[in-house]
Structure 1
Amino acid sequence: MKSRVLSESGGLTVHAVIMDKGDEPMTELRRWAEEQGVGAASLTGIGAFSGATLGYFDPGRGDYLRIPVGEQVEVLSLTGDVALADGRPQVHAHVVVGLRDGTTRGGHLLEARVWPTLEIVVQESPAWLRKRHDPETGLTLIDLPSSG
């Protein structure tokens, strides 16, 4: 994985994060965010995976149903955010992938293997987003403080 700052203006920093063949994007993005001290950001990306596991959150189970995708796919859209949970950056990403026949699969990105590349643009904000445990769902959700 490689990264570079593309621009800085008005407190916002834009990074390019380029994944290499075989990288696991969720692990690499978490590590990168920790190393860079990123506490609030949005991200978008395109590229390809040799395989992935997507997730669909099942409220009845309180857990993700795993959706395996065991073939080469195009990453048509990857969107997400970075926020702090227990003082550490947490990456939350959703993805839509295109299969050979033109059909798509989508969901929460649980894990994947990059092949041959994944190009991510991260827009870092100077404000820190914080996640808190939601006892009703069992998830950590962004908690914005009330204003005024």
Structure 2
Amino acid sequence: MRWQRLDDVRGATHVVVLEPGEEPVQALTDFARTHDIRAAQITAVGAFEGAVVGWFDRETHDYRPIPVGEQCEVLSLVGDIADGDDGPTPHLHAVLGMSDGRTRGGHLLHGQVWPTLEVIVRSVRPPLAKVYHPDLGLALIEPEHRSTAP
């Protein structure tokens, strides 16, 4: 992973470039925690060697995996970072393009970068908190809550 921080009057923007073989969910989680990014918007483009996206099943409160077992273009990757119980946590959705023009999309569960993933992380203040809702089976951003992390 290579990265550069760009500062402006509204906050910080990080340009994060992932290398072949890196796993983006873990890499962005580690990056957010290392750099204390507790509220951010994420966008990215690039490609994967393979990936797994998910569709959230409201009955089981779990993601149904949708494997993508081929090279694919990351046509769109969008998401956010907010403070969860374990620290800053990204929530990422991806639209992936196949060689024949078909697409697969959903919650990004796993991917293997090839040859690159170019990520823009726009951080803001104050930190946002994700609160777990047992009735939904999900942790969601609660704008009225403030993160309790230092």
Task: State the TM bucket, normalised to the shorter chain.
Answer: over 0.9
Please report how far the alpha carbon of residue 145 of structure 1 lies from its aligned counterpart in structure 2 after TM superposition. Answer: 0.8
What one-letter code is carried by the residue in structure 2 that aligns with 1:8?
Answer: D
1:71 counterpart = 2:70: yes
Instruction: Show structure 1 runs of 4+ deviating over 3 A.
Output: none
Which runs of 5 or more residues in structure 2 are unaligned? 146-150
Corresponding residue SS for 1:34:
helix
Aligned to 1:82: 81
| Residue 87 to residue 128, structure 1, CA distance change in 2 (3 Å) | farther
Aligned to 1:6: 6
Aligned to 2:50: 51
State the aligned residue count: 145
> How many angstroms apart in 2 are the aligned matches of 1:98 and 1:85?
30
Aligned to 1:96: 95
Please report how far the alpha carbon of residue 132 of structure 1 lies from its aligned counterpart in structure 2 after TM superposition. Answer: 0.6
Corresponding residue SS for 2:30:
helix
Please report how far the alpha carbon of residue 87 of structure 1 lies from its aligned counterpart in structure 2 after TM superposition. Answer: 5.6
Aligned to 2:59: 60
Structure 1 window deviating more from structure 2 (78-87 vs 51-60): it is: 78-87
Please report how far the alpha carbon of residue 77 of structure 1 lies from its aligned counterpart in structure 2 after TM superposition. Answer: 0.2
> How many angstroms apart in 2 are the aligned matches of 1:110 and 1:92?
10
Structure 1 window deviating more from structure 2 (73-82 vs 134-143): it is: 134-143
> How many angstroms apart in 1 are the aligned matches of 2:8 and 2:28?
20
What one-letter code is carried by the residue in structure 2 that aligns with 1:118?
Answer: L
> How many angstroms apart in 2 are the aligned matches of 1:31 and 1:62?
25
Corresponding residue SS for 1:26:
helix
| Residue 18 to residue 64, structure 1, CA distance change in 2 (3 Å) | same
Please report how far the alpha carbon of residue 48 of structure 1 lies from its aligned counterpart in structure 2 after TM superposition. Answer: 0.1
Corresponding residue SS for 1:143:
strand
Normalised to the residue count of structure 2, the TM-score between the two structures is: 0.94
Please report how far the alpha carbon of residue 90 of structure 1 lies from its aligned counterpart in structure 2 after TM superposition. Answer: 0.6
1:112 counterpart = 2:111: yes
Corresponding residue SS for 2:29:
helix
- The two structures, once aligned, show a CA RMSD in angstroms of 1.0
> How many angstroms apart in 2 are the aligned matches of 1:66 and 1:76?
19
What one-letter code is carried by the residue in structure 2 that aligns with 1:23?
Answer: E
> How many angstroms apart in 2 are the aligned matches of 1:87 and 1:75?
27
Structure 1 window deviating more from structure 2 (78-87 vs 99-108): it is: 78-87
> How many angstroms apart in 2 are the aligned matches of 1:112 and 1:90?
16
